[in-house]
Amino acid sequence: MRLTCPHCGERDLREFAYKGDALALSRPEANAELQAWHEYLHIRDNPAGPTRELWYHTPCGSWMVAERDTATHAVHRTMTPAEATK
Amino acid sequence: MRIATGGLIDREKPIRFTFDGKPVTGFAGDTVASALLANDILLMGRSFKYHRPRGPVTAGSDEPNALVTVGEGAEARPNTRATCQEIYDGLTVTSQNRWPSLRFDAMAVNDLLSPFLAAGFYYKTFMWPRAFWEKLYEPIIRRAAGLGALSGQPDPDRSEKAFAHCDLLVIGAGPAGLAAALTAAEAGADVILATEDTRPGGRLLSETVTLGDQTGREWADRMAARLAAMGNVRVMARTTVTGVYDSGTYGALERVAEHVMPGEAPPTCFWRLVARQAILATGALERPIAFPMNDRPGILSAAATRTYLNRYAVSPGARVAVFGNNDDAHRTATDLAAAGVTVAALIDTREDATSDGAWPFYPGAEVIETQGRLRLEGLTIRKPGGTLRIGADALAVAGGWNPALHLTCHMNGRPVWQEDIAAFVPTANAIPGLTPCGAALGTFSTAGCLEDGRRAAEAALDALGHSPKPIDLPDAEDTPYSPPATWAVTAPGRAWLDLQNDVTTKDVHLAARENFRSVEHMKRYTTQGMATDQGKGSNVTALAILADATGRTIPETGTTTFRPPYVPVPISSMGAGHAGKGFAPERFTTSHEASTARAAPMIEAGLWYRPSYFPVHGEKTWRESCDREVRMVRECVGVSDVSTLGKIDIQGPGAAEFLDLVYTGTFSTLKEGRIRYGLMLREDGHVMDDGTTARLGPQHYLMTTTTAAAGPVMAHLEFVAQGLRPDLDVKLTSVTDHWAQFAVAGPRARDLLNSLLEEEVTDDAVPFMSCWLATVSGVPVRLYRISFSGERGYEIAVPARYGAALWRLLVAQAESLGGGAYGIEALNVLRIEKGFITHAEIHGRTTAYDIGMQAMMSKTKDFIGKAAAARPGLTESTRERLVGLRPRDPANMPLPGGFLFTKGETPSRANAQGYVTSACWSPTLETHLALGFLASGPERMGETLRFTDHLRNRDFEVTVTDPVAFDQDGGRMRG
Amino acid sequence: MRYSGFKVFLEGLRGQSGWKPVWRDPEPKPVYDVVIIGGGGHGLSTAYYLAKNHGLTNVAVLEKGYLGGGNVGRNTTIVRANYFLPGNSEFYSHSMKLWEGLAADLNYNVMHSQRGLINLFHSDGQRDAFARRGNAMINQGDDAVLLDREGVRSYLPYLDFDNPRFPVYGGLLHPRGGTARHDAVAWGYARGADRRGVDLLQQCEVTGIDIEGGQVTGVQTTRGPIKAKKVAMIAAGRSGQVAAMAGMRLPIESHVLQAFVTEGLKPVIDHVISFGMGHFYISQSDKGGLVFGGDLDFYASYAQRGNLPMAEHVMEAGMALMPMIGQARVLRSWGGIMDMSPDGSPIIDRTATKGLYLNCGWCYGGFKAVPASGFATAHLIATDRPHETAARFRLDRFATGRGLMDEEGTGAQHNLH
Amino acid sequence: MADLIARPATHGLLPIEIGSVVLEDAQPEAITWIAPYNRKKSAVTRTLGGFPGPGQVVEVKAGRALSVGPGQALILGAPAACDDAAVVDQSDGWTVVALDGAAARDVLARLTPLDLRDSALSENATARTLLGHMTASITRTGPYRYELMVFRSMTQTLIHELTRAMKHVAARARLSGPG
């Protein structure tokens, strides 16, 4: 698999680390209900299809959001976290 | 036997090798199989289950029978296809799966028992008496396992791996592949042309076809030369594409030097090929016909027979019969006769077939029995009007073609049935960016393959944004394909499908009878297609037999699929370069050489090496050294290399707020020049890491992590900075490698520093937990007054180029004061005495509450992990929490990993109260000490517990104490 | 039909003509007492124990493909009971006991081979962690032996002891650990359930779960609607999609785990070996193939296939640990979909819907759990109470933080367990 | 007080020549990490005399500036300073070596997944990537010359892996050579 680092361009999978669903970027407010934190930490849509997830380009230290299909492994789009949360 | 003329062998270059110790001579260009056939040696192996004698049936990597061990010693290669292995002078070839010899194999008795050894028989028996399965039956079954044997010696790890990138990867170099490569290359694309064979040409090297006014091989040679001369083409011979992976990534195995005597060149290279587009031009594989006793040495595929004949100038026999269900049988008879070989008979299953050759011809006939033991002697055919015995020492079988579509299945593509050619073809768009063409797509004429290769390349060029240039393709044979008419011959006797695993049509019928009607069930139950050839020849035929047995059509019954790799890949290829120290990078500190010079055992700490202890003359055990080093630090001064701890430079207007978020404590209030201990949680509320952070300037901090967590913490900080708080203006970079850092600890640590530093160190100027800049011999250094030993301690950091020199200086100065260097064993004892934690305690399941640091969790601000740490289950007082432990008898060591029980209770899971995480002999307190976790621990100070370590047979009493066993008020380190 | 050596002999004499189907292919009935969604190892064993232990035989197992086509047929066949956290300890211990009697119980030779499993350690810290594990195993009543370096060498002389990157300090031997023939486990349970009257419905995909007033009433399938008062979702790998039909979202993320087998070789590895530093484990099958695997590919996937970097890493670990296998050739690789939970341990529990049960989150340890999982799930379905060996596999533990079973200590990130 | 003697990371290990390729030390006088603060990039660019975009190498006052990450550059040359950026001396954090020779690209292709074709890594282009299992920085400084950087502590592994690849490339050349 190949992914496109927003800084470095397209690279081999072995340069990246996966960090789970991109909802990790949507950290609840500090005073949010425990249920909100539970969903943030544990509950996953886990689709067999298109998903948004976090990847880390280890050599350059860039975090990114990838739109990827978990059934086909097709990578549709990658972007910086800032672009993803706009 | 060798044909007098022709072939792509070099008769000027005889090659001598041995087979089972006997000398054999072939020619340059021969494979082991062709050379043995040239010497009338047909018996090359034994089957897996029944140990039946076998000869080659193919001339390629799909060979199920002729598997041999080549070479000797550590690099002997078992299960090597004799049909692919090129011969070289001095090559040793050994047959397999036979005892005592290939001609006489005692295990062939299995063949006599075959009526009782049907598919899956082992699931139904060997169950009684129960103990016998593991004691008797299974060992016998296991001993019979396998074909070849590993040498048992460590592989010298001489292979290599590499990467290559291209616009277009063409897989296969037959007419379709060559036409495709040429089309793409002329248009300016970067092309890699990979062929499994030793040279481009594919079937053109095996057939007597003409292209324009040239023979097939002449045309192939010309095309190969033309491509090789182009700067944008890389022709990779002896390279099999083994697997297709996502985003245009392909694995390929190149046999770099397996065709020469082992030398300095890597035997193989495992390639990771990255291609924007790819073309599958892998051709097709001829399939067998299941007829009774179709497994004898001398029975070959017709395509292989032509390959041996035309490419290697070898005939498998002097009187060769040909049996087929399509026109290839006729082509084979023609080639045999042209080479001067007697065609014993041409047997065609089609009643309406005609032949004008000068050989006995039997249309509408089938082979129903064969004779011979170690090689074929004759066959019986059933023809209109009766049966007939025919004397023949070889039989070529033309069963039709299966497109070599295997790679299209690697991303879950399911082949589809194409009725007009009675074969499975690749499903459309099975692999994004990969276009099948030629015989791999079911186009079987030479002209069709050329044209299809060009079409595929034009499609790929279009996707790449290149414009194709017109190229000339020669005229070639364009005979329509005659679809094969039959799969099997209905007659009594065993008809083999999977030759190596000895799966017969009867086994498939048995599977159907037992309701293993799904193709997957049938394959798993019978082991059809599980042998080293992965059913390349037989899977489709087996599927057809299952369809027949269950009264379904082939598409109704299912499809066939294949998983990577296309051909088996040595572990030493895909894992090349990783034996021994090659497995992971090594990281060395600047004091490494000085430490090893003092005979310090170096211990792996993640990727780093750290000294365990520094033995001095007369010390016999590590404990003696360790005790001395601990006393040295407690009583005088010790020096230790702490460079492996992670160091992260954090700067910017948002740095303070950033640290407040990632640490449980508050760092925005830390004064410049001061240091604070920090605890970092994961967002799930458990402890991630701990360390100290110094404020070097208004917007400048230096964070220290543990050695193990340096990488993960850096990634975590980047996540917080880029993902959670991009609004904070904070910049991070690791400076771990820039600084060599040494701890100087002990009552005389300040004296040592003052012997080196140009400005005097005073406690007023630099109290505990402060940092400052200084110089040593004109070199600027950073100093941190921190302590992981509980003694007055400083860490002195110097740019790494000065590390070795500073270390030597520090050790020399320490020794002049009566101290010296100490290693991680002493460091561990010192911290256990002080109750300081490491990852033995913060092992990923502990909370700040568990380690008694709940007070460090700020109540006034948010921080990572704060909310989750407040979950009810993470704050219950009954949790296992950190305590100190002291044995009632100081000589007893509560070993880490041992469990704690209430006094008097039996040591069972239900009674477990906690466990020990760290322990040591404390030379300071003259007792063993331990840290551990205990249910409601802090509430049980003074309680006597039972310590049990079943594994090491320890059972004694310990007392619960405060984790800090030495200098509880910390007066020594505060000075 | 009862299987025996005598029967095999008899059928040998009569040309194998007397064997009967191992299971029926019944038409779906309109109503069952219990419907199990998923015909993998766990679903089939649940059906078997419902019938055997609880007398519930009006049961259907609905399988969208073919029986045993999921992870039970695509794993590295390791059977072990070497967990150390309460909850896992008692469960896997129970599973091991069931394994030991399984062939006799099922009258089907699942080829359970207790050849011994050795977990290697490469530092003092790892030794201490394995000591804790071994002691926990003995606390539980199972077996464990701590080997030093020479002890490991006596069992596994072919490891690289001379020049390794990470020297072997020792190993934790689990003598009762071993392997079993994976397909036989699925087929044995299927046959056992079928013989007791359970309907095994293949090519029957569930398309909806019917719930009325908080009570499950049945399922919609590609072979028509089926009514049932109790429905169990036992579809690890597809848990999220199945649970979504009941309006549930799960703490599960699906990941791919690859495994590999080499060409058949004469016996050379007698044990199951696990090399933690390299995330590599290996054993040799009864047919001679070296069966081995490594870590997850680490990204979410339903594709049942992996990628090269992890495949290479596994081979690299093999070369590092035992270069003796260098000339073995990898014949086939495959991938399974792993139901990864936030603490790496499974879930067997009721749901908020009455009569609807959940069995999921097996991460990559589901094969060895098949007997005890079915046993406990059958108990839960039949009695509506958790079985004592699976009482801690609660769905609410993540929200409360109570009773987490994070054996790896890697926290609430699904792919790191 | 004795002087502290500076010791280069590649001390005693280089140069190495195998076949057509030479591996040699290329450590600059100083390596400075620069990360402009938010909205300060143009000010920093002015101060330094340039700032590289992704994949770029630019000449600056103090030497050459390589892009090494989002909003980050390393300046190889004289020590550099800048008020509007985080500035960290990394002179001893990285080992810089040069691989030079006709087959240098073939050697690198054995270790890095990076696309090394002219179209992807032209002269004067730089990339953060992997060399073996090490994170690295690769800069193409000539048609047949590459400068490679890894963390200083991994210098020996870097040289070991490059040497192994150099030997393989040379042995292959001999294998396919005359005869």
CA distances from B470 to B179, B182, C111 (A): 12, 10, 62
CATH of the domain at B216: 3.50.50.60
* pLDDT score of B82: 98
pLDDT beyond 50 at B249: yes
Residue B842 maps to a domain: no
Residue B191 maps to a domain: yes
CA-only gyration radius of chain B, Å: 37
- Mean pLDDT on B20-38: 98
Q: What is the pLDDT of residues D51-66, one digit of tens each?
A: 999 999 999 999 999 9
Considering only the beta carbons, identify the residue of C254, C303, C398 that sits closest to A73.
C303
How would residue B10 be classed by pLDDT, with cut points 50, 70 and 90? very high
Give percent above pLDDT 70 in chain B.
100
CATH of the domain at A15: 3.30.2270.10
For residue C21, count CB atoms less than 10 angstroms from its CB and return exposed for 0-12, middle for 13-18, buried for 19 or more.
middle
Considering only the beta carbons, identify the residue of B245, B718, B862 that sits closest to A63.
B718
* Cβ contact, residue pair B150, C315, below 8 Å: no
The nearest alpha carbon in chain C to A1 belongs to: C307
The nearest alpha carbon in chain D to B266 belongs to: D168
pLDDT beyond 60 at D179: no
Q: Are B532 and C264 in contact (CB under 8 A)?
A: yes
Contacts of B762 (CB under 8 A, 6+ apart): none
How far is CA C201 from its chain centroid?
22
Residue B122 maps to a domain: no
Contacts of C38 (CB under 8 A, 6+ apart): C61, C62, C63, C70, C233, C234, C235, C236, C238, C242
Contacts of B360 (CB under 8 A, 6+ apart): B343, B344, B345, B346, B390
* Cβ contact, residue pair A19, C413, below 8 Å: yes
Is C122 part of the contact surface with chain B (CB cutoff 8 Å)?
Answer: yes
- Mean pLDDT on A69-85: 96
* Cβ contact, residue pair A24, B723, below 8 Å: yes
* Cβ contact, residue pair C86, B909, below 8 Å: yes
Residue type at position B692: T
Measured between its terminal Cα atoms, the distance across chain A in Å is 27
Domain hosting A16: range is 2-84
Residue B581 maps to a domain: no
CA distance B264 to chain D (A): 6
- Taking CB atoms and an 8 Å cutoff, what residues of chain B touch D110? 160-163
- Mean pLDDT on B800-809: 98
- Indicate the SS3 state at residue C352: coil
- Residue B739 sits at φ, ψ, to 5 deg, of -105, 130
Q: Are B562 and B534 in contact (CB under 8 A)?
A: yes
In this structure, the answer to whether residues B388 and B409 fall within a common structural domain is no
Which residues 600-619 in chain B show a CB within 8 A of chain D?
608
Domain hosting B386: range is 287-399
Count of domains forming chain A: 1
* Cβ contact, residue pair C399, A42, below 8 Å: yes
* pLDDT score of D177: 60
CA distances from B246 to A8, B47, B249, B404, B430 (A): 20, 36, 6, 20, 12
ipTM metric: 0.98
In this structure, the answer to whether residues B665 and B638 fall within a common structural domain is no
pLDDT beyond 80 at D176: no
Write down the domain spans for chain C.
20-75+183-251+343-416, 114-177+253-340
Is D41 part of the contact surface with chain B (CB cutoff 8 Å)?
Answer: no
In this structure, the answer to whether residues B232 and B245 fall within a common structural domain is yes
Residue B861 maps to a domain: no
Output the CA angle C215-C221-C223, nearest 5 degrees.
140
Output the CA angle C374-C378-C379, nearest 5 degrees.
120
Positive/negative CA dihedral, B623, B624, B627, B630:
negative
Considering only the beta carbons, identify the residue of C307, C309, C415 that sits closest to A20.
C415
* pLDDT score of D1: 57
Is D115 part of the contact surface with chain B (CB cutoff 8 Å)?
Answer: yes
Q: What is the pLDDT of residues B83-113, one digit of tens each?
A: 999 999 999 999 999 999 999 999 999 999 9
CATH of the domain at B493: 1.10.10
For residue B884, count CB atoms less than 10 angstroms from its CB and return exposed for 0-12, middle for 13-18, buried for 19 or more.
buried
How far, in Å, CA of C230 to CA of B507, rounded? 40
Is D69 part of the contact surface with chain A (CB cutoff 8 Å)?
Answer: yes
CA distance A53 to chain C (A): 9
- Taking CB atoms and an 8 Å cutoff, what residues of chain A touch B871? 34
Contacts of B792 (CB under 8 A, 6+ apart): B745, B746, B747, B749, B750, B972, B973, B975
User: What is the reported pTM?
Assistant: 0.98
* Cβ contact, residue pair B737, D4, below 8 Å: no
Which of D66, D92, D96, D117 to substitute to test the interface with B, most B CBs within 10 Å? D92
* Cβ contact, residue pair B683, A34, below 8 Å: no
In this structure, the answer to whether residues B656 and B634 fall within a common structural domain is no
Q: How many CB pairs under 8 A join B and D?
A: 146
* pLDDT score of D178: 46
Count of domains forming chain B: 7
H or E element, residue C192: helix C182-195
The nearest alpha carbon in chain B to A83 belongs to: B723
Contacts of B73 (CB under 8 A, 6+ apart): B151, B153
CA-only gyration radius of chain C, Å: 21
Decide the pairing of beta strands D85-89 and B239-245: unpaired
H or E element, residue C130: helix C124-139
Residue B176 in tokens = 């379709």
User: Which is nearest to B69 in space by CA: B109, B31, B97, B105?
Assistant: B97
Is C318 part of the contact surface with chain B (CB cutoff 8 Å)?
Answer: yes
- Mean pLDDT on B449-473: 96
Residue B394 in tokens = 């070889």
The nearest alpha carbon in chain B to C397 belongs to: B873
Q: Are B809 and B817 in contact (CB under 8 A)?
A: no
Torsion angle of the four alpha carbons C118, C123, C126, C132, in this order, in degrees rounded to the nearest 10: 90
List chains touching A (3+ CB pairs under 8 A): B, C, D
* Cβ contact, residue pair C108, B123, below 8 Å: yes
In this structure, the answer to whether residues B352 and B271 fall within a common structural domain is no
Bridge partners (DSSP) listed for residue B269: B160, B254
The class (CATH top level) of C114-177+253-340 is: alpha beta
How would residue B725 be classed by pLDDT, with cut points 50, 70 and 90? very high
Q: Are A9 and C402 in contact (CB under 8 A)?
A: no
Q: What is the pLDDT of residues B602-642, one digit of tens each?
A: 999 999 999 999 999 999 999 999 999 999 999 999 999 99
User: Which is nearest to B657 in space by CA: B647, B648, B670?
Assistant: B670
Residue B134 maps to a domain: no
Q: Are B713 and B680 in contact (CB under 8 A)?
A: yes
Residue B473 maps to a domain: no
How would residue B503 be classed by pLDDT, with cut points 50, 70 and 90? very high
In this structure, the answer to whether residues B92 and B36 fall within a common structural domain is yes
pLDDT beyond 90 at B485: no
How far, in Å, CA of C175 to CA of C117, rounded? 6
> C20-75+183-251+343-416 — its CATH code?
3.50.50.60
How far is CA B294 from its chain centroid?
37
Q: What is the pLDDT of residues A15-67, one digit of tens each?
A: 999 999 999 999 999 999 999 999 999 999 999 999 999 999 999 999 999 99
pLDDT beyond 50 at B397: yes
Which residues 127-156 in chain B show a CB within 8 A of chain C?
127-128, 130, 133-134, 138, 141-143, 145-156
Q: What is the pLDDT of residues B576-592, one digit of tens each?
A: 999 999 999 999 999 99
Considering only the beta carbons, identify the residue of D88, D91, D157 that sits closest to B733.
D88
Can you give the pLDDT of all 417 residues of chain C as single tens digits? 899 999 999 999 999 999 999 999 999 999 999 999 999 999 999 999 999 999 999 999 999 999 999 999 999 999 999 999 999 999 999 999 999 999 999 999 999 999 999 999 999 999 999 999 999 999 999 999 999 999 999 999 999 999 999 999 999 999 999 999 999 999 999 999 999 999 999 999 999 999 999 999 999 999 999 999 999 999 999 999 999 999 999 999 999 999 999 999 999 999 999 998 889 999 999 999 999 999 999 999 999 999 999 999 999 999 999 999 999 999 999 999 999 999 999 999 999 999 999 999 999 999 999 999 999 999 999 999 999 999 999 999 999 999 999 999 999 999 999
Q: Are B412 and B434 in contact (CB under 8 A)?
A: no
- Taking CB atoms and an 8 Å cutoff, what residues of chain C touch A38? 398-399
* pLDDT score of B483: 85
Residue B255 maps to a domain: yes
Structural domains in chain D, CATH included, are 16-175 (3.30.1360.120)
The nearest alpha carbon in chain B to C83 belongs to: B909
Is C64 part of the contact surface with chain A (CB cutoff 8 Å)?
Answer: no
H or E element, residue B799: strand B793-799
